[in-house]
Chain A
Amino acid sequence: MNWSFFHKLGSPKWFHDISGRWLPWFAVAGVLLLSVGSVWGLFFAPEDYQQGNSFRIIYIHVPAAFVAQSCYMMLAVAGIVSLVWRMKLADVALKCAAPIGAWMTFVALLTGAIWGKPTWGTYWVWDARLTSMLILLFLYFGIIALGQAISNRETSAKATAVLAIVGVVNIPIIKYSVDWWNTLHQPATFKITEKPAMPVEMWLPLLLMVLGFYALFTVSLLMRMRLEVLRREHKTRWVREVLEKSS
Protein backbone atom coordinates (compact mmCIF):
# COMPACT_ATOMS: atom_id res chain seq x y z
CA MET A 1 0.00 0.00 0.00
CA ASN A 2 1.16 3.49 -0.78
CA TRP A 3 1.52 5.41 2.47
CA SER A 4 2.71 8.70 1.01
CA PHE A 5 -0.70 10.34 1.64
CA PHE A 6 -0.31 9.51 5.31
CA HIS A 7 3.05 11.25 5.48
CA LYS A 8 1.72 14.19 3.55
CA LEU A 9 -1.02 14.51 6.17
CA GLY A 10 1.75 15.36 8.58
CA SER A 11 2.49 18.46 6.54
CA PRO A 12 0.34 21.41 7.64
CA LYS A 13 0.99 23.28 4.42
CA TRP A 14 -0.20 20.37 2.29
CA PHE A 15 -3.33 20.08 4.43
CA HIS A 16 -4.02 23.79 4.12
CA ASP A 17 -3.68 23.68 0.33
CA ILE A 18 -5.81 20.61 -0.29
CA SER A 19 -8.55 21.49 2.22
CA GLY A 20 -8.87 24.91 0.63
CA ARG A 21 -9.66 23.20 -2.65
CA TRP A 22 -12.24 20.86 -1.09
CA LEU A 23 -14.05 23.41 1.07
CA PRO A 24 -16.21 25.10 -1.60
CA TRP A 25 -17.48 21.74 -2.86
CA PHE A 26 -18.52 20.57 0.59
CA ALA A 27 -20.14 23.95 1.23
CA VAL A 28 -22.17 23.87 -1.99
CA ALA A 29 -23.18 20.24 -1.43
CA GLY A 30 -24.15 20.96 2.19
CA VAL A 31 -26.31 23.99 1.40
CA LEU A 32 -28.02 22.22 -1.52
CA LEU A 33 -28.71 19.02 0.43
CA LEU A 34 -30.01 20.88 3.48
CA SER A 35 -32.23 23.24 1.43
CA VAL A 36 -33.80 20.47 -0.64
CA GLY A 37 -34.03 18.12 2.34
CA SER A 38 -35.69 20.57 4.72
CA VAL A 39 -38.20 21.94 2.17
CA TRP A 40 -39.06 18.36 1.23
CA GLY A 41 -39.29 17.24 4.84
CA LEU A 42 -41.28 20.27 6.02
CA PHE A 43 -43.80 20.62 3.20
CA PHE A 44 -43.91 17.54 0.99
CA ALA A 45 -43.22 14.49 3.12
CA PRO A 46 -46.50 12.94 4.34
CA GLU A 47 -47.63 13.35 7.96
CA ASP A 48 -46.96 10.56 10.37
CA TYR A 49 -50.16 8.63 11.08
CA GLN A 50 -49.54 8.76 14.85
CA GLN A 51 -47.41 11.83 15.42
CA GLY A 52 -48.88 14.13 12.78
CA ASN A 53 -46.66 17.03 11.80
CA SER A 54 -44.45 16.97 14.87
CA PHE A 55 -42.55 14.06 13.31
CA ARG A 56 -40.98 16.55 10.87
CA ILE A 57 -38.49 17.34 13.63
CA ILE A 58 -36.93 13.99 12.71
CA TYR A 59 -35.30 15.66 9.71
CA ILE A 60 -32.97 17.62 11.96
CA HIS A 61 -33.00 15.52 15.13
CA VAL A 62 -31.70 12.30 13.57
CA PRO A 63 -28.99 13.92 11.39
CA ALA A 64 -27.74 15.95 14.38
CA ALA A 65 -27.60 12.81 16.53
CA PHE A 66 -25.80 10.90 13.74
CA VAL A 67 -23.16 13.59 13.37
CA ALA A 68 -22.82 13.97 17.16
CA GLN A 69 -21.96 10.28 17.52
CA SER A 70 -19.78 9.87 14.42
CA CYS A 71 -17.92 13.02 15.41
CA TYR A 72 -17.09 11.40 18.73
CA MET A 73 -15.86 8.24 17.01
CA MET A 74 -13.73 10.47 14.81
CA LEU A 75 -12.27 12.06 17.95
CA ALA A 76 -11.32 8.61 19.24
CA VAL A 77 -9.65 7.67 15.93
CA ALA A 78 -7.83 11.01 15.88
CA GLY A 79 -6.81 10.34 19.47
CA ILE A 80 -5.27 6.99 18.54
CA VAL A 81 -3.42 8.49 15.57
CA SER A 82 -2.23 11.35 17.73
CA LEU A 83 -0.99 9.00 20.47
CA VAL A 84 0.58 6.31 18.27
CA TRP A 85 2.12 8.32 15.43
CA ARG A 86 2.37 11.68 17.23
CA MET A 87 0.70 13.26 14.22
CA LYS A 88 0.05 16.91 15.04
CA LEU A 89 -2.73 17.24 12.51
CA ALA A 90 -4.65 14.51 14.37
CA ASP A 91 -4.50 16.65 17.50
CA VAL A 92 -5.68 19.66 15.48
CA ALA A 93 -8.59 17.58 14.17
CA LEU A 94 -9.47 16.37 17.66
CA LYS A 95 -9.44 19.85 19.16
CA CYS A 96 -11.39 21.40 16.28
CA ALA A 97 -14.05 18.69 15.99
CA ALA A 98 -14.93 18.62 19.71
CA PRO A 99 -16.88 21.94 19.78
CA ILE A 100 -18.83 20.99 16.63
CA GLY A 101 -19.68 17.62 18.16
CA ALA A 102 -20.84 19.38 21.31
CA TRP A 103 -23.08 21.70 19.27
CA MET A 104 -24.56 18.75 17.37
CA THR A 105 -25.25 16.88 20.62
CA PHE A 106 -26.88 20.03 21.96
CA VAL A 107 -29.09 20.27 18.86
CA ALA A 108 -30.03 16.58 19.09
CA LEU A 109 -30.94 16.92 22.79
CA LEU A 110 -32.86 20.16 22.35
CA THR A 111 -34.84 19.13 19.25
CA GLY A 112 -35.49 15.81 20.97
CA ALA A 113 -36.88 17.63 24.01
CA ILE A 114 -39.06 19.86 21.83
CA TRP A 115 -40.26 16.79 19.93
CA GLY A 116 -40.93 14.97 23.18
CA LYS A 117 -43.52 17.52 24.36
CA PRO A 118 -46.22 16.84 21.71
CA THR A 119 -45.44 13.11 21.33
CA TRP A 120 -44.57 11.91 24.86
CA GLY A 121 -46.20 14.74 26.81
CA THR A 122 -42.90 15.69 28.45
CA TYR A 123 -39.70 17.45 27.48
CA TRP A 124 -37.41 15.12 29.34
CA VAL A 125 -37.27 11.64 30.87
CA TRP A 126 -34.24 10.10 32.56
CA ASP A 127 -34.16 7.06 30.33
CA ALA A 128 -31.08 5.39 28.87
CA ARG A 129 -31.05 7.05 25.43
CA LEU A 130 -31.49 10.58 26.71
CA THR A 131 -29.12 10.14 29.63
CA SER A 132 -26.36 8.59 27.51
CA MET A 133 -26.68 11.46 25.02
CA LEU A 134 -26.36 13.92 27.91
CA ILE A 135 -23.20 12.06 28.96
CA LEU A 136 -21.91 12.48 25.40
CA LEU A 137 -22.40 16.23 25.74
CA PHE A 138 -20.44 16.21 29.02
CA LEU A 139 -17.67 14.14 27.40
CA TYR A 140 -17.37 16.81 24.70
CA PHE A 141 -17.28 19.52 27.38
CA GLY A 142 -14.60 17.54 29.22
CA ILE A 143 -12.41 17.24 26.14
CA ILE A 144 -12.79 20.94 25.31
CA ALA A 145 -12.03 22.00 28.89
CA LEU A 146 -9.08 19.62 29.22
CA GLY A 147 -7.58 20.87 25.96
CA GLN A 148 -7.88 24.47 27.10
CA ALA A 149 -6.64 23.86 30.62
CA ILE A 150 -3.25 22.43 29.60
CA SER A 151 -0.99 24.96 27.95
CA ASN A 152 1.79 22.55 26.99
CA ARG A 153 0.82 21.38 23.52
CA GLU A 154 2.19 17.84 23.76
CA THR A 155 0.71 17.13 27.19
CA SER A 156 -2.59 18.60 26.09
CA ALA A 157 -2.60 16.40 22.95
CA LYS A 158 -1.93 13.28 25.02
CA ALA A 159 -4.53 14.04 27.71
CA THR A 160 -7.35 14.87 25.28
CA ALA A 161 -6.50 11.83 23.14
CA VAL A 162 -6.78 9.51 26.15
CA LEU A 163 -10.09 11.04 27.26
CA ALA A 164 -11.47 10.79 23.71
CA ILE A 165 -10.48 7.10 23.47
CA VAL A 166 -11.83 6.15 26.90
CA GLY A 167 -15.11 7.99 26.31
CA VAL A 168 -15.88 6.08 23.12
CA VAL A 169 -17.36 3.30 25.30
CA ASN A 170 -20.41 5.56 25.55
CA ILE A 171 -21.14 5.27 21.81
CA PRO A 172 -22.38 1.64 21.76
CA ILE A 173 -24.33 2.42 24.94
CA ILE A 174 -26.15 5.21 23.09
CA LYS A 175 -26.75 2.99 20.08
CA TYR A 176 -28.14 -0.03 21.92
CA SER A 177 -29.82 1.88 24.76
CA VAL A 178 -33.18 1.66 22.98
CA ASP A 179 -32.86 -2.15 22.75
CA TRP A 180 -31.34 -2.90 26.18
CA TRP A 181 -33.60 -0.80 28.37
CA ASN A 182 -37.25 0.19 28.42
CA THR A 183 -37.61 3.60 26.91
CA LEU A 184 -40.03 6.11 25.45
CA HIS A 185 -37.58 6.67 22.62
CA GLN A 186 -38.41 5.05 19.32
CA PRO A 187 -35.96 2.48 17.87
CA ALA A 188 -33.46 3.24 15.11
CA THR A 189 -34.80 4.76 11.90
CA PHE A 190 -32.02 3.43 9.67
CA LYS A 191 -30.49 -0.01 10.02
CA ILE A 192 -27.76 -1.28 7.75
CA THR A 193 -29.23 -4.76 7.44
CA GLU A 194 -32.90 -3.89 6.98
CA LYS A 195 -35.08 -1.68 4.90
CA PRO A 196 -36.14 1.53 6.69
CA ALA A 197 -39.36 1.19 8.68
CA MET A 198 -40.84 4.23 6.92
CA PRO A 199 -41.99 4.79 3.34
CA VAL A 200 -39.51 6.12 0.80
CA GLU A 201 -41.11 9.60 0.60
CA MET A 202 -40.38 9.94 4.32
CA TRP A 203 -36.84 8.58 4.50
CA LEU A 204 -35.42 10.00 1.29
CA PRO A 205 -35.50 13.61 2.58
CA LEU A 206 -34.03 12.28 5.83
CA LEU A 207 -31.14 10.76 3.89
CA LEU A 208 -30.53 14.11 2.16
CA MET A 209 -30.53 15.87 5.53
CA VAL A 210 -28.08 13.36 7.02
CA LEU A 211 -25.69 13.86 4.08
CA GLY A 212 -26.18 17.63 4.29
CA PHE A 213 -25.33 17.65 8.01
CA TYR A 214 -22.18 15.62 7.33
CA ALA A 215 -21.18 18.02 4.54
CA LEU A 216 -21.69 21.07 6.74
CA PHE A 217 -19.86 19.36 9.60
CA THR A 218 -16.93 18.86 7.21
CA VAL A 219 -17.06 22.51 6.16
CA SER A 220 -16.99 23.73 9.76
CA LEU A 221 -14.28 21.23 10.72
CA LEU A 222 -12.01 22.12 7.78
CA MET A 223 -12.46 25.85 8.43
CA ARG A 224 -11.57 25.45 12.10
CA MET A 225 -8.63 23.17 11.34
CA ARG A 226 -7.22 25.52 8.70
CA LEU A 227 -7.43 28.37 11.18
CA GLU A 228 -5.78 26.33 13.94
CA VAL A 229 -2.98 25.23 11.57
CA LEU A 230 -2.33 28.87 10.61
CA ARG A 231 -2.23 29.83 14.30
CA ARG A 232 0.15 27.03 15.25
CA GLU A 233 2.47 27.66 12.30
CA HIS A 234 2.18 31.44 12.32
CA LYS A 235 5.94 31.95 12.41
CA THR A 236 6.61 30.01 9.21
CA ARG A 237 7.00 31.63 5.84
CA TRP A 238 4.19 29.78 4.09
CA VAL A 239 1.65 30.99 6.67
CA ARG A 240 2.86 34.56 6.19
CA GLU A 241 2.36 34.13 2.45
CA VAL A 242 -1.11 32.63 2.85
CA LEU A 243 -2.20 35.48 5.13
CA GLU A 244 -0.70 38.07 2.80
CA LYS A 245 -2.56 36.61 -0.17
CA SER A 246 -5.89 36.57 1.72
CA SER A 247 -5.74 40.22 2.78
Chain B
Amino acid sequence: MNNLADMLAMDGHGVYVWSSYAITLVVLALNVVQPWLARRRLVNEEARRRRREVK
Protein backbone atom coordinates (compact mmCIF):
# COMPACT_ATOMS: atom_id res chain seq x y z
CA MET B 1 0.00 0.00 0.00
CA ASN B 2 1.87 3.08 -1.24
CA ASN B 3 -0.78 5.72 -1.59
CA LEU B 4 -4.09 6.66 -0.13
CA ALA B 5 -6.18 5.55 -3.12
CA ASP B 6 -4.76 2.03 -2.95
CA MET B 7 -5.36 1.95 0.76
CA LEU B 8 -9.00 3.00 0.38
CA ALA B 9 -9.61 0.65 -2.57
CA MET B 10 -8.53 -2.39 -0.50
CA ASP B 11 -7.91 -4.48 -3.64
CA GLY B 12 -11.48 -4.04 -4.81
CA HIS B 13 -13.03 -4.83 -1.45
CA GLY B 14 -13.12 -1.18 -0.42
CA VAL B 15 -16.71 -0.63 -1.49
CA TYR B 16 -17.92 -3.48 0.77
CA VAL B 17 -15.77 -2.53 3.74
CA TRP B 18 -16.45 1.22 3.60
CA SER B 19 -20.19 0.91 3.05
CA SER B 20 -20.40 -1.44 6.08
CA TYR B 21 -18.48 0.97 8.28
CA ALA B 22 -20.48 3.97 7.06
CA ILE B 23 -23.83 2.30 7.76
CA THR B 24 -22.66 1.20 11.21
CA LEU B 25 -21.41 4.68 12.06
CA VAL B 26 -24.75 6.20 11.07
CA VAL B 27 -26.72 3.65 13.13
CA LEU B 28 -24.51 4.09 16.22
CA ALA B 29 -24.70 7.88 15.98
CA LEU B 30 -28.47 7.73 15.53
CA ASN B 31 -28.84 5.65 18.70
CA VAL B 32 -27.05 8.27 20.77
CA VAL B 33 -28.27 11.47 19.08
CA GLN B 34 -31.95 10.53 19.05
CA PRO B 35 -32.40 10.17 22.87
CA TRP B 36 -30.24 13.27 23.34
CA LEU B 37 -32.54 15.34 21.11
CA ALA B 38 -35.62 13.88 22.80
CA ARG B 39 -34.27 14.87 26.21
CA ARG B 40 -33.62 18.42 25.01
CA ARG B 41 -37.17 18.57 23.66
CA LEU B 42 -38.52 17.48 27.02
CA VAL B 43 -36.45 20.09 28.86
CA ASN B 44 -37.63 22.83 26.48
CA GLU B 45 -41.27 21.82 26.79
CA GLU B 46 -40.99 21.91 30.56
CA ALA B 47 -39.35 25.35 30.42
CA ARG B 48 -42.16 26.66 28.20
CA ARG B 49 -44.74 25.21 30.57
CA ARG B 50 -43.07 26.88 33.54
CA ARG B 51 -43.05 30.27 31.79
CA ARG B 52 -46.78 29.95 31.07
CA GLU B 53 -47.42 29.20 34.72
CA VAL B 54 -45.45 32.25 35.87
CA LYS B 55 -47.57 34.49 33.66
Residues of A within 8 A of B (CB): 27, 34, 38, 42-43, 52-54, 56-57, 60-61, 64, 100, 103, 106-107, 110-111, 114-115, 117-118, 216, 219-220, 223-224, 226-227, 230-231, 240, 243-244, 246-247
Contacts and interface: CB of A to CB of B under 8 A. Distances in A.
Given A231-B42, A247-B43, A220 B13 contact: no
12 contacts: A34-B28, A38-B21, A54-B13, A54-B17, A56-B10, A57-B16, A61-B20, A107-B27, A216-B31, A223-B39, A226-B39, A231-B42
Contacts of A118: 12-13, 16
Interface of B: 7, 10-14, 16-17, 19-21, 23-24, 27-28, 30-32, 35-36, 38-39, 42-44, 46-47, 50
A111 B24 contact: yes
Secondary structure dominating the interface of B: helix
Secondary structure dominating the interface of A: helix
Given A53-B13, A57-B16, A107-B27, A243 B35 contact: no
Contacts of A240: 46
A216 B35 contact: no
Counting chain B CB atoms within 10 Å of each CB, the highest count among A27, A54, A103 belongs to: A54
Contact of A247 (B10, B14, B23, B46): B46
Contacts of A56: 10, 13, 17
Contacts of A107: 23-24, 27
Given A103-B31, A118-B12, A243-B47, 13 more contacts: A43-B7, A53-B10, A53-B11, A54-B10, A56-B10, A103-B27, A103-B30, A111-B24, A114-B16, A118-B13, A223-B39, A244-B46, A247-B44
Given A107-B27, A227-B39, A52 B13 contact: yes
Counting chain A CB atoms within 10 Å of each CB, the highest count among B28, B36, B46 belongs to: B28
